[in-house]
Structure 1
């Protein structure tokens, strides 16, 4: 079995996203410039350690490699041969990039999607002069990550922009203070399918909170999404995706409980 799991606001949580919880229940898992940025609950961390010894745990994130490497907690007592970064643009095998996959993604993106600069110009025209953008990055020459002043985000703008993107081969996603502009060929689902073939596994359990996670959730045999996420806000209920009862950092515990129950059923068969 493969456990393909998004990181931010699915598996790991910042202080702003975790909700109310006692500090002594937390385990730091990410550091940056000497500060702890992300956490898991102690119980979830121990569960993940056990899970990773029985299935292929595949961290699957929109973070670029350098940001992924900051999550030191996923290397301490947790086994993970495969990882997916840059929203599916890069597959890591034992920490090394699979160049065949990267070249394939870039080739298909150039063929099927509008140039990145054209999409960025569309976005800039929509937000011109309103002070919305605080910082922006063109990540791995694949997609845009834009930090915004959330208070200045016009109501309905993301829906309007998603309509504008139709026909260009790109998607957009709002996650907290970040807006992602991503080619449709950059897909967590396609990357998970590729890892499934590499690992010769037949079953995928997937978890993720955002629209950028949807592609891997719909191809999984079983899928769970946190109640606080972008997917829940869009759907509320879903025929294939199960939403947690809990929100914030405790949603992670619930996701891992669902997975462990599934593993017990499979082992009993």
Structure 2
């Protein structure tokens, strides 16, 4: 079985994202200080799951940020996908086949990322600045008071015709190739693993393509996915945040032990 999971607000939580009184331990360090947390039970369940399934972390983070997490940097995850599916690592080495596919896909688009970023800066009200422009992804900071959601939706439709997706998540706006997402990179992992059964765990709109591509999908009570019909079943925890993560990981482990996630050919 492939266990495909997002990182932030799914497996681990920053101090300000913790909820309730469930005890936590640090699982991520930034500048030598604890930064990301899980419950002890959740961390134990994840460690067990890493031994019983193929662990695939599928995150928006970059490589340096992902390696701040102890269960990523120690090599316990066989697969690591970065920047919403744009990069894929297998056993610590970048998958050259996926890298070539991403490069071909992006270079075939009629609009270059730099030009697309320029259009966003010029046409969309409420952009504070271009935060970062990576090889295939641009990230902007937005001003809540002046950001125009309708204008953003209109521009997103315009950019979609050129193969680019534009999506706002809280204080950030992302511009990325729409054909390359967390679901597409999961399909590559399934190919490498012989099309094994996949169980997904995520909390945000960016995780929807990955969850849709899985045989079973899990999410958390109170996250942005809850309350919307995504066109496929998602199971939600009964508790929010870090306690919910422990609940989901434990339930996935139980299902694995009972043979619920039998391998599919």
User: When the two structures are superposed, what TM-score results if normalisation uses the length of structure 2?
Assistant: 0.87
How far apart, in 2, do the equivalents of 1:39 and 1:126 lie? 39
Residue 168 (structure 1) shift: 2.3
Q: CA 1:180–1:26 in 2, change beyond 3 Å: closer, same or farther?
A: same
Give the unaligned 5+ runs of structure 2.
none
How far apart, in 2, do the equivalents of 1:88 and 1:243 lie? 24
Equivalent positions of 1:155-194 (< 5 A) are 156=150, 158-194=152-188
How far apart, in 2, do the equivalents of 1:268 and 1:87 lie? 25
Q: CA 1:152–1:8 in 2, change beyond 3 Å: closer, same or farther?
A: farther
SS of residue paired to 1:259? helix
Q: CA 1:227–1:120 in 2, change beyond 3 Å: closer, same or farther?
A: farther
How far apart, in 1, do the equivalents of 2:180 and 2:261 lie? 37
Instruction: Give the equivalent residue in structure 1 for 2:91.
Output: 94
Q: CA 1:111–1:176 in 2, change beyond 3 Å: closer, same or farther?
A: same
Instruction: Give the equivalent residue in structure 1 for 2:133.
Output: 138
Among 53, 72, 95, the alignment partner of 1:55 is 53
Equivalenced residues, count: 262
How far apart, in 1, do the equivalents of 2:109 and 2:261 lie? 45
More helix by percentage: 1
Residue 151 (structure 1) shift: 5.4
Q: CA 1:16–1:176 in 2, change beyond 3 Å: closer, same or farther?
A: farther
Q: CA 1:186–1:232 in 2, change beyond 3 Å: closer, same or farther?
A: same
Instruction: Give the equivalent residue in structure 2 for 1:12.
Output: 12
SS of residue paired to 1:182? strand
Residue 145 (structure 1) shift: 2.2
Q: Segments of 4+ in structure 1 off by > 6 A?
A: none
Instruction: Give the equivalent residue in structure 2 for 1:260.
Output: 253
Tell me, yes or no, if the aligned pair for 1:29 and 1:74 is still in contact at 8 Å: no
Residue 222 (structure 1) shift: 0.4
How far apart, in 2, do the equivalents of 1:193 and 1:47 lie? 25
Residue 156 (structure 1) shift: 4.9
Tell me, yes or no, if the aligned pair for 1:81 and 1:94 is still in contact at 8 Å: yes
Q: Which moved more, 1:258-267 or 1:88-97?
A: 258-267
Instruction: Give the equivalent residue in structure 2 for 1:72.
Output: 70
Say yes or no: does 1:215 pair with 2:209: yes
Give the unaligned 5+ runs of structure 1.
none
Tell me, yes or no, if the aligned pair for 2:221 and 2:244 is still in contact at 8 Å: yes
Residue 247 (structure 1) shift: 2.3
CA RMSD of aligned residues (A): 2.5
Among 26, 31, 34, the alignment partner of 2:32 is 34
Residue 185 (structure 1) shift: 2.3
How far apart, in 2, do the equivalents of 1:268 and 1:88 lie? 24
Per-residue CA deviations over 1:81-120 (Å, capped at 9, x if unaligned) read: 2211121111111111112211111111221463212321
Residue 62 (structure 1) shift: 1.2
